[in-house]
Amino acid sequence: MINIGITGQNGFVGQHLYHTLKLKPDKFNVVEFQKDFFEDESEMDKFVSQCNVIVHLAAMNRHENEQFIYDMNIMLVNKLVASLERTETTPHVLISSSTQEERENLYGRSKKEGRETLLKWASENDAKFSGLIIPNVFGAFGKPFYNSFISTFCHQLTHGEIPTVVNDGEVNLIYVQELIDHIIAEIDSEKPSSNLSIEPTATKKVSEVLSMLLDFKSKYFDTGEIPVLNDDFEHNLFNTYRSFIDYKTHFPVKFIQHKDPRGAFVEIIRLGIGGQCSFSTTVPGITRGNHYHTRKIERFAVIKGKALIQLRKIGTCEVLDFYLDGSDPAYVDMPIWYTHNIKNIGDEDLYTNFWIDEPYNPEDADTYFETV
């Protein structure tokens, strides 16, 4: 069992790493971290002493005062090193640095000097050390106007705002879950690297990304169509976009019913991509689901009976309740990293149509059980 602590556990990358490690409880034990540990030496020392591995992600990315960013990031590294020295422990330490190291700005300097400070500590104490130099990271739950221009654009396009391109340069990008895979591989590595450049998985112009997001808005947000997703980047970008939708106000989405004397016709989903369609009947009082996905795109459409669909983001307590009635057909889409279920709350059988963007594969199900 590897005891892993993550400074910046609740940040953008930190929360993804935290929850991914939690999926492997037979291998990883996550040592809980709180940001106020940096202000309490005893708590910091207790945390450090429990860890076989520490992933140092705590850092400031943006502030109106660049000197403040520099001072803060250097201070956080120094406090970590001081605790390592006080406790005389030598865990494998990993730090997330940035390709900004190459630039003459204070943020880039703070990341480079922080990496070098930890490398010096590791060399003097015969400890394992990994310095990860990372390109621009995007993904679900990023903080708009802070983590990434993609986070900003996604927030704006799901909240009635119009993005603008200030500098239409090419940007090297990596999806957050791809980065997490690199971090876990480095944790497992017998030969860690102090200067490991993580290669981007895509290079896009800012305007090119915006064009894709505008297409997602017009097709998915406005009409419910699942757009064509040509590669992993577009799939990851689409899931990122979906994570910024305000589910409380957007769902459930009512279907358009075409009625005549024979009854009604309802289009459940319009697809640019394939996937698997299925339906279920559920007897009164029964709940299905209570699981989540990290990559799959899924739609629940109630066509007969009364249902309660519930969603809860992993790591949070708030439960979103959606009441659907087959007499007024509607659907709710499942965001990634949200555990979800559906319960028959009526007196008759519940009929539900399900669509998911990839056929079920028991060897790679991307289905993790957790009660809403």
CA-angle at 125, arms to 120 and 127, nearest 5°:
90
Question: Could you write out the DSSP letters of every residue in 70-113?
Answer: HHHHHHHHHHHHHHHHHHT---EEEEEEEGGGGSSSHHHHHHHH
Q: Is the peptide bond before 252 cis (omega within 30 degrees of 0)?
A: yes
CATH of 2-134, one of 3.40.50.720, 2.40.30.10, 3.30.2010.30, 3.30.70.20: 3.40.50.720
> What's 247-369's CATH class?
mainly beta
Sign for the pseudo-dihedral over CA of 146, 150, 151, 154: positive
If you ran DSSP here, which 8-state letter would residue 37 be given? G
Match 């990993």 to its residue by tokens: 94
* Phi–psi pair at 324, nearest 5 degrees: -125, 150
**H or E element that contains 280:** strand 276-282
Q: What percentage of residues in the chain have a pLDDT greater than 70?
A: 100
Q: Where are the domains of the chain?
A: 2-134, 247-369
pLDDT tens per residue across all 372 residues of the chain: 999 999 999 999 999 999 999 999 999 999 999 999 999 999 999 999 999 999 999 998 878 788 999 999 999 999 999 999 999 999 999 999 988 887 778 888 899 999 999 999 999 999 999 999 999 999 999 999 998 999 999 999 999 999 999 999 999 999 999 999 999 999 998 888 888 899 999 999 999 999 999 999 999 999 999 999 999 999 999 999 999 999 999 999 999 888 878 877 788 888 888 888 998 999 999 999 999 999 999 999 999 999 999 999 999 999 999 999 999 999 999 999 999 999 999 999 999 999 999 988 999 999 999 999
The string of pLDDT tens digits covering residues 27-86 is: 999 999 999 999 999 999 999 999 999 999 999 887 878 899 999 999 999 999 999 999
Strand duo 320-325 + 306-313: pairing: antiparallel
The model's pTM is 0.91
Provide the residue count of the chain.
372
